[in-house]
Structure 1
């Protein structure tokens, strides 16, 4: 076989080999990315529950919810109650910037990741996270001691412990479909944020 034809076949074989290798590398990268995303989702569920518990304990002790996440860290004095060990970073964004759900009085009743993406996990949640089943965005994973605060588009709530018995009414001024008023004058609102896009 002429040398030119041999060289041509060798070149084609090299291209085929490179294509196969590239496809293999791409498949491995996809598996790695999915694995890392699942791990970060598990971290988010753990960290979110820490905030949920801290909010519940704060409300139980103070009779209200905090106006800032840092308020749950205490003031550093000996007699100051500490409800949260630290402001945990969001596993998906890598920052301590969380979206918050609060009432118009500024009391935070829930937190959520600001990462703009669709969760891989869609079912099989722990009972405390059952409201997350079927959600299409991480921003819908709202960690709150109020079980009914399940989505930015379906916000309901109850008052802190020891507060007057609430009456549930539709709040036409909240700007949120299906939102409810805690006591007729303190509707829940979602703190407006610019979603973070990208792949964690």
Structure 2
């Protein structure tokens, strides 16, 4: 009897870990999908307004609409995306007409010698928004663009990515058997039709 209960406890622990692991993987796929939605919204905003948005809120409130709403970050569970500004942390500067002037670098107070100061400290960064990343710096299961922490998964519109400055983001991730994953998308094998109300 004791052995049976011990075996059942071990099996239950393994099942819970498997479910938790699968949920995290699904959240990572959702993070990629939603990040790419923000990139596409930045691209549409720039093409319609001739400039980059000044904030994620402006991106969500744009008329005509380019983003239904600021989706919750699936890792944190809140709509607390960190904006990535033009020229910040390796993003391209001089994105062509309407790109706006790059922000002026702000050195850290007290930085005098040694390593050069970061030009765009996260707390002081301003300027045109070209993308976003997660606020969570947890280690990911998936490696995305060579990065293993969610806060390093940058979703950035690059107007120089394609000839002619189209800068389309990478297509949303897809499951081996089907279509993209995300809000309003089927989650099963990917081949079943979407559920309509």
> Equivalents in 2 of 1:74, 1:99: separation in Å?
17
- Give the corresponding residue for 1:47: 34
- Give the corresponding residue for 1:64: 51
**What is the aligned residue count?**
124
> Equivalents in 2 of 1:54, 1:46: separation in Å?
12
Matched, 1:119 2:106: no
**1:91, distance to aligned residue in structure 2 (A):** 1.0
Larger CA Rg, structure 1 vs 2 = 1
> Equivalents in 1 of 2:4, 2:38: separation in Å?
51
- Greater helix percent: which structure? 1
> Equivalents in 1 of 2:25, 2:78: separation in Å?
18
> Equivalents in 1 of 2:75, 2:26: separation in Å?
10
**1:74, distance to aligned residue in structure 2 (A):** 3.2
Measured against aligned partners, the alpha-carbon deviations of 1:141-189 in whole angstroms (never above 9, x if no partner) come to 11111289xxxxxxxx9xxx7xxxxxxxxxxxxxxxxxxxxxxxxxxxx
Measured against aligned partners, the alpha-carbon deviations of 1:24-62 in whole angstroms (never above 9, x if no partner) come to 111111110111011111111111111000011112222
> Equivalents in 2 of 1:143, 1:42: separation in Å?
13
SS in structure 1 at match of 2:70: coil
Residues 147 and 43 (structure 1), Cα distance of their counterparts in 2 relative to 1, 3 Å cut: farther
> Equivalents in 2 of 1:54, 1:96: separation in Å?
16
Could you say what the CA RMSD is over the residues aligned between the two structures, in angstroms? 2.2
- Give the corresponding residue for 1:85: 68
Which of 128, 131, 148 pairs up with 1:107? 128
> Equivalents in 2 of 1:147, 1:57: separation in Å?
11
> Equivalents in 1 of 2:127, 2:145: separation in Å?
28
Matched, 1:30 2:13: no
Consecutive unaligned residues in structure 2, runs of 5 or more: 87-102, 104-125, 166-197
SS in structure 1 at match of 2:132: strand
> Equivalents in 2 of 1:147, 1:23: separation in Å?
52
> Equivalents in 1 of 2:13, 2:149: separation in Å?
26
Q: Please report the TM-score for the alignment, with normalisation by the length of structure 1.
A: 0.56
- Give the corresponding residue for 1:73: 60
| 4+ aligned runs moved over 6 Å, structure 1 | none
Measured against aligned partners, the alpha-carbon deviations of 1:99-149 in whole angstroms (never above 9, x if no partner) come to 111143521111011122222223xxxxxxxxx33311011111111289x
Q: Which fold has the larger relative contact order, with Cα–Cα distance below 8 Å and residues 6 or more apart in sequence?
A: 2
